[in-house]
């Protein structure tokens, strides 16, 4: 197996596992959804509940995983995946700010202090898969 194919397979597996976990344990992802987007948190731009955002976010992860597995769609899927990971960064920043705020816990600070910096290698990983 070519290294690029193995890398695409690995990222697709990660995305697939994440999508499954979004459905299995949506509460794990709640802190990453900015309050401003949530109807159940009084958000100014509230369109859906936090739970619905988490469940809906599983769909692009599944589509990205499938796209990465198909050589004909890999470049487009890798681009979309890199953009998706970059976009998720805002949610991770929001979660980290809340973790260090008045209601934050020691566990939340640890979790989000690790999750935020992971976004950069994920963006780079997806972006590199754009190359043939």
| pTM for the predicted model, two decimal places | 0.87
Residue 126 and residue 85: Cα distance in Å, rounded? 9
Residue 37 and residue 13: Cα distance in Å, rounded? 28
Going from the C-alpha of 18 to that of each of 2, 9, 127, the distances in angstroms are 24, 14, 19
pLDDT band at 40 (very low <50, low <70, confident <90, very high): confident
Mean pLDDT across 54-74: 96
Tokens of 69: 């597995």
Residues 3-37 pLDDT 10s: 888 999 999 999 999 999 999 999 999 988 888 88
pLDDT band at 1 (very low <50, low <70, confident <90, very high): confident
pLDDT at 43: 67
């Amino acid at each position: 197996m070519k290294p690029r194919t193995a890398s695409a397979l690995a990222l697709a597996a990660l995305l697939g596992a994440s999508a499954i976990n979004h459905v299995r344990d949506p509460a794990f992802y709640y802190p990453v959804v900015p309050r401003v987007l949530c109807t159940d948190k009084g958000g100014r731009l509230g369109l859906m509940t936090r739970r619905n955002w988490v469940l809906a976010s599983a769909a692009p992860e599944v589509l990205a995983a499938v796209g990465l597995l198909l050589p004909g769609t890999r470049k487009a899927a890798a681009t979309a995946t890199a953009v998706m990971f970059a976009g998720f960064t805002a949610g991770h920043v929001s979660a980290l700010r809340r973790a260090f705020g008045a209601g934050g816990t020691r566990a939340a600070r640890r979790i989000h202090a690790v999750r935020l910096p992971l976004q950069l290698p994920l963006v780079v990983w997806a972006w590199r898969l754009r190359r043939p």
